[in-house]
Amino acid sequence: MVISFFMPISHLNFIQSFLDYLKFQKRYSQHTIISYQNDLIDFFDFSAVQFTTSEPSEIKASYVRSWLASLKERGMEAKSINRKISSLKSFFKYQQKEGILLKSPMATIVSAKVKKRLPQFVAETDTATLFNYVEFPDDWTGKTHRLAFHLLYNTGIRQAELIGLTPAHIDTANNTIKVLGKGNKERILPVSSDLSALIKKYLADKQLLFANADSTVLLVNEKGKKLYPKYVYLLVKKYLASVTTIDKKSPHVMRHTFATHLMNNGADINAVKELLGHSSLAATQVYTHNTIEKLKEVYKKAHPKA
């Protein structure tokens, strides 16, 4: 943990206890835990400077509102502010759970209004161009890029889930893969026989070409090492730039693309929810908006009275 200049050691213990709870009981990812840590240190530093206290028991709702106002003045977007509100709410809820506080100062704090934006996705014509006409180099890097893209588009898995796939997760006989998602929740995803064959060939080539390749993961780079987030981001960005002009070109856009294409082609929303590994239907419903826009487009083009 990065020790703040302003915060007393006693309060750092409060934060560490909460972070340990997130890690060992909630099983949050390291990335998520670091986000919570940064949010909490930022707030309690602010409180120490502005209100000369960083003790949870002395925090008032007005202190939180002042902090939120300062974030807005710095130009922070509502979505990011809401994430920080969520961090504080979780922290103070934990303090209540542990019997340290009787009341949370977050009880009267409301989230900022966020302008709804539909998730960006790659058009079906563009994905067809990518897989049918764009050539991946005939070397190990090209093979890895090609398989990574097919997995992202055909399964909708997250970047971290892709990197974490292991050979043991692959069942080529039944054309399925096992994915370890958020909170260590497992889900079984169907894949096409073509993708299953591509994975099988990749594993065979990997065994032939690399004597010391990382055998704990499916995908490895040209050095036989496990992929890392920036590697996946850059390869997705590179190939999407050749077929689409959308602003965002990230692995998560491929997840949006997977879900949107399914919905546009009549997939049941509950099935899409299960495939994506969403814990609630609300997270999946954003894709129905894209479907409605598609229906409007079809209506305008096809209906005589449109």
Q: Which residues are catalytic?
A: 158, 182, 252, 255, 278, 287
DSSP string, 13-25: HHHHHHHHHHHHT
Q: How far apart are CA 134 and CA 128, in angstroms?
A: 9
Q: CA distances (Å), 232 to each of 2, 184, 215, in order? A: 28, 21, 19
Alpha helices of the chain — where are they, by DSSP H?
Answer: 9-24, 30-51, 61-73, 78-97, 124-132, 140-155, 159-164, 193-209, 229-240, 251-264, 269-276, 281-284, 286-302
Element (H, E) at 157: none
DSSP state for residue 4 in the 8-state scheme: P
User: Which two tokens mark 46?
Assistant: 């602010």
Are residues 273 and 262 in contact, defined by beta-carbon separation less than 8 angstroms? Answer: no
Q: How far apart are CA 42 and CA 67, in angstroms?
A: 9
> In the block, which residue shows the tokens 């590697």?
231
DSSP string, 29-89: -HHHHHHHHHHHHHHHHHHHHHHS---GGG--HHHHHHHHHHHHHTT--HHHHHHHHHHHH
Are residues 193 and 175 in contact, defined by beta-carbon separation less than 8 angstroms? Answer: yes
Beta bridge partners of 226: 220
DSSP state for residue 221 in the 8-state scheme: -
